[in-house]
Chain A
Amino acid sequence: MKKTLKIIAPCGILGYGYPIESFMNGINEKPDAIIVDAGSTDAGPHKLGAGVSIVSRLAVKKDLLPMIVEGKKLGIPVIIGSAGGTGTKGQVLWTLEIINEILKEKNIQVKIAIIYSDFEKEYIKEKLLDKKIEPLTENIKQLTIKDIDDTTAIVAQMGHEPIVEALKENPDIILCGRAYDPAPFAGMCIYKGFDEGLAYHLGKILECGALCAEPGTTKDCILGTITEDSVIVKPLSSNRKCLETSVAAHTFYEKDHPFILKGPGTILNLENSRFDQTSENAVEIKNSKIAHTDKYYIKLEGAKKVGYKTFVVAGVRDPMMIERLTEIEKESEKQVREHYHEIPAEDYQINFINYGMDGVLGDCEFEKFKGHEVGVMFEVCANSQEVANTICASLRSTMLHFGYDGRKSTAGNLAFPQAPSDVEFGAVYEFSIYHLMEVENGLTPFKIEYLQGGKNE
């Protein structure tokens, strides 16, 4: 019989949820591992900068519970990639706390491997001075010592190597810090001796849950099977099908290139991958190739605080106001800046977004405005919350009472949907590090720790 390995991916992001029926269909297939990706940079730099999770504690617990219980029953590893979304030490420990809560409630004892992906600033600085760090793309600035100092937390995406290493110790659960999304899946396959190219391609598909199926979603389970020369994906709900087209199209998703996928230490080439429908709902993939890069690079991610924001959302319905809206916005900003002349101009920035006009596309908008009302969002980003609040309040009252030519609605120009109208948003972050760092290999930069989970202290 052919050697095979089966992996269930319950959902696209841990905490997004999945139907328990689909999950149990997967468990009945006697899988060899349950693996879920928890990470994403999609939601912007705030999570990494502020050290908060993408999903709630309750959502993560709900998703993890069946995974841990069923994984333990079958004696198969449960692997979590990019814990908490960003994979910082804080997020890893947050997830560990949830795991321990489940273990205690269910009276289960397990061996847990934790793979950290945090880096000390001093180590990153040494690498920078050693010229081992470069921007990922040309629109990213060269890294500076100051950027490193200003950054809240720095993580790097691990490849499969630390996961393979951890699997050698037979843990029940592997909790990873920031990981290249496909790496936990690839790690399991590579540990069991399967082809690396197929392993990473399978990981690339499974990390999004059932998104490769038709209809696609990140909130349902998918089963991946790797054999000696192919991978097979199929949904675990009868409501979905994996089709040649849906799986091939998924290869495009969220990547800068349709068939060249750069990962830690590897380049996956899917140019000659073949997608074949093997049953009504399953697709088999062959010929996915991987190459190792000469030097091993890992991707660093870091975010820094760039200011504090206060914003207002308001509606404008008066046609004469709408006609002059952008002019009134410019003039209001000018008046506010003149009034607060003692605050340096560069201490704050004002942005207007006019929904209904060009709110989404900005200067790329090609449609002429033809609406009868506009949603205005204006925000002030400043170097302190107090300045943001002060300038935003002044801008709001200036806009509200602005006396433009021909004005008839002399009682007020803006319809606020809430009171108070000004929303104190808090800190704003920016991705300050998104660079490649050359390392000796894919294993040693990542610290692995083993512990016994579920024991009553």
Chain B
Amino acid sequence: MSKLYEIAKILRSKNSGPFELTFDIIFATEEEYKRVKESGIINEDKIAEIYNISKSDIADIVFFNPANGIKITIYRRISSGTIGDRDVYGAQQHAPLMNLEI
């Protein structure tokens, strides 16, 4: 078993516009990418669980083979920079993904 952050080369979050958060998990090799992809751990149920959202708040989960990368996009509950937002750029929201066990 390894944790996702031990395998991924890039694991980040950022706004994709002020109403969405997007997570990029990118691997250095195809082998590592396939290991995570084929583990099936990245799925709608898991994302909804770790981000405390309903599945309908997930815009997309896409596995993109040519770049050895996975992209997850979710809807923000509070849009960027207004009352109650904790992370204007959305740049520190990736932590719940880091400890996923592969």
Contacts and interface: CB of A to CB of B under 8 A. Distances in A.
B102 to A, nearest CB: 17
Interface in B56-90: 57, 59-60, 62, 64, 66-69, 71, 73, 75-76, 79-89
Given A362-B86, A434-B17, A434-B19, 13 more contacts: A137-B17, A137-B20, A139-B19, A140-B19, A245-B28, A254-B22, A256-B22, A256-B60, A258-B67, A349-B83, A351-B83, A360-B87, A364-B51
B17 A248 contact: no
B32 interface: no
B19 A364 contact: no
A256 B51 contact: no
Contacts of B75: 137-139
A249 B83 contact: no
Contact of A359 (B26, B67, B82, B86): B86
Given A139-B75, A252-B71, A44 B26 contact: no
B99 interface: yes
19 contacts: A41-B17, A41-B80, A45-B79, A46-B81, A245-B68, A249-B10, A249-B69, A253-B24, A254-B22, A256-B22, A256-B73, A258-B69, A361-B95, A429-B81, A430-B83, A431-B81, A431-B82, A434-B18, A434-B79
Contact of A43 (B68, B76, B89): B89
Contact of B82 (A42, A136, A275, A428): A428
Contact of B96 (A248, A361, A430): A361
A349 B83 CA distance: 8
Contacts of B2: none
Interface of A: 41-46, 136-140, 245, 248-249, 251-259, 271, 273, 275, 306-307, 309, 349, 351, 353, 359-364, 366, 381, 428-431, 434
A41, A245, A253, most chain B CB atoms within 10 A: A245
Interface in B15-72: 15-20, 22, 24, 26, 28, 50-52, 57, 59-60, 62, 64, 66-69, 71
A429 B79 CA distance: 10
Contacts of A42: 15, 80, 88-89
Contacts of A138: 75
A308 to B, nearest CB: 10
Contacts of A41: 15, 17-18, 80
Nearest to A271: B66
A258 B19 contact: no
A363 B77 CA distance: 12
A364 to B, nearest CB: 5
Nearest to A41: B18
A245 to B, nearest CB: 7
B87 A44 contact: no
A57 B48 CA distance: 43
Give the 7 A-B CB pairs with smallest separation, nearest first.
A44-B81, A139-B75, A430-B82, A258-B64, A248-B67, A256-B16, A256-B73
Nearest to A274: B66
B22 A255 contact: yes
A43 B79 CA distance: 12
A363 B85 CA distance: 13
Contacts of B80: 41-42, 44-45, 431
